[in-house]
Amino acid sequence: MDLGNFLATGIGSLPYVETEPALDLILSNTPQAPHWPQLPKVSFREQMICQYSEGLPGVAVDLIQGRLTLDPLEDPAKACSDFYAAYESVLSSGKLDSSLGISPDYARGFHALEARLRASGAKPPLVKVQTCGPLTFSLNITDQDQQPLYMSEKLRGLCVKLAEIKCLWQIQRLQPYAQKVICFIDEPMLTALLFPSYHFLKRGEVSDMISEVVKAVKKAGAISGIHCCGNTDWSIPLETGMDILSFDAFNFGDSLLLYADSVKTHLERGGFLAWGIVPTSGEIHHYSLEVLATRLEGLLNDLVGNGLDLGLLAERALLTPSCGTGNLEILEAERVYETLAELSKLLKRKYGFEG
């Protein structure tokens, strides 16, 4: 299993409404580290936040308005107690609790990938899963007072435990079909740390929330990752102890230079960087393979100029799209994945990782 060395994998969403063509695209272009496809065009249930909401006490899904809220609970104490009992049961017994998993109505791509891997008998080196992180989840669902769940310590804690369970459930389901599972914790709301309107976010709370999920993933025997598709204070995810930092290198690659010391520490302790260098916008039509390779190598050399070793950067590099492709047209998404696969081959050859 070669993690790094410009290995290619994906982020999550695709613009299909059927699972099989989505899986065909993923498996043909990222065969060493396929991921399950999120299909947000199918239903609101497959939108990023809603997709991981099953099992949260009091959660209400409004399919017409496309929103999630928490309804008042008849017995809040019992509902929370039941949730934590189910959570502890999973941790202590290691047995999957279907009520806390992700049903086919919410993630048909997950179940389709599991079925495909089971039927094929193949065992790829890596399989990637993904879960909405607790910060992003808790900032995007409101309680009956229209306050983000993050604002309540109790509800914030529930969001952390729910994210842990969603990670563990996926890891356990797919571990039989891969040498190792990669689990990304998707935290686009890490960008909120740079905006004054989110002044109520506390660095320590944010770091602790994500770190708890990272620890659960690693304890389950999986490779942990944090993905953010915007700019942020990169020292926060880098201090969580995760294995892979996944970021939008096409649009925000320069931002990592401000944290070169933290990046160096991350790599030297065995960490990896997943470079989202293939654009997931109309820009995909305007950049050739060679230009994207040059752009990535420019970022690598910038880090070398800040005291990092080029050989180590290459060994610890993964390649991904800059974000999910769910908002693209199908032909554009296909171009993204095909470009990703070709870029991986090109850089593997150049840096001597083939054969």
Question: CATH number for the domain including 204?
Answer: 3.20.20.210
Lowest-pLDDT range, 14-28, 83-97, 192-206?
83-97
CA 260, 261, 265, 268 dihedral sign is positive
- Give the pLDDT score at 65: 86
Return the percentage of the chain with pLDDT > 70, whole number: 96
pLDDT in tens, 282-298: 889 899 999 999 999 99
pLDDT at 94 over 70: no
Spatial CA neighbour of 257 closest among 294, 220, 308, 212: 308
In a domain, 319, yes or no: yes
Please check whether residue 17 lies inside any domain of the structure.
yes
Place 10 in a pLDDT band, splitting at 50, 70 and 90: very high
Q: In this model, does residue 79 exceed pLDDT 80?
A: no
61 in a structural domain: no
Residue 158 lies in a domain: no
Three-state secondary structure call for residue 241: coil
Question: Minimal CA–CA distance to 234: which of 211, 258, 270?
Answer: 258
3-state helix, strand and coil shares in percent for the chain, rounded to the nearest 5: 50, 15, 35
Domain count, the chain: 1
Given a cut of 70, whether residue 97 has pLDDT beyond it is: no
Q: Is 146 left (phi over 0), alpha (psi -120 to 50) or beta?
A: left
Nearest to 25 by CA among 264, 349, 346, 326: 326
Assess whether pLDDT exceeds 70 at residue 102.
Answer: yes
Residue 62: phi and psi, rounded to 5, are: -100, 100
Q: Across the strands, what pairs with 173? A: none
For residue 224, what are its two tokens? 């942990």
Asked whether residue 89 carries a pLDDT value surpassing 90, the answer given is no
Place of tokens 């693209």: 328
Question: Quick one: average pLDDT of 319-336?
Answer: 96
Residue 93 pLDDT exceeds 70: no
Classify the phi-psi angles of 328: left when phi > 0, otherwise alpha if psi is within -120 to 50, otherwise beta. beta
Q: Does residue 211 fall inside a structural domain?
A: yes
Q: What is the mean pLDDT of residues 255-279?
A: 96
Query: For 26-70, how does the pLDDT look when each residue is reduced to its tens digit (9 = 90+)?
Result: 999 999 999 999 999 999 999 999 999 998 888 888 888 888 888
Assign 275 to helix, strand or coil: strand
Which of the four pLDDT bands, split at 50, 70 and 90, describes residue 75? Answer: low
Calculate the average pLDDT of the chain: 93
For residue 333, what are the domain limits?
7-39+107-143+172-350
Residue 67 resides in a domain: no
pLDDT surpasses 60 at 355: no
Q: How many CA atoms lie within 13 A of 30 on its CB side?
A: 29
CB atoms within 10 A of CB 239: 15
* 282 φ/ψ angles, rounded to the nearest 5 degrees: -60, -15
Helix (H, G, I), strand (E, B) or coil at 8: strand
Tokens 């993905």 sit at which residue? 227
Residue 329 lies in a domain: yes
Rounded CA-CA distance 243/22 in Å is: 27
Asked if residue 217 belongs to a domain, the reply is: yes
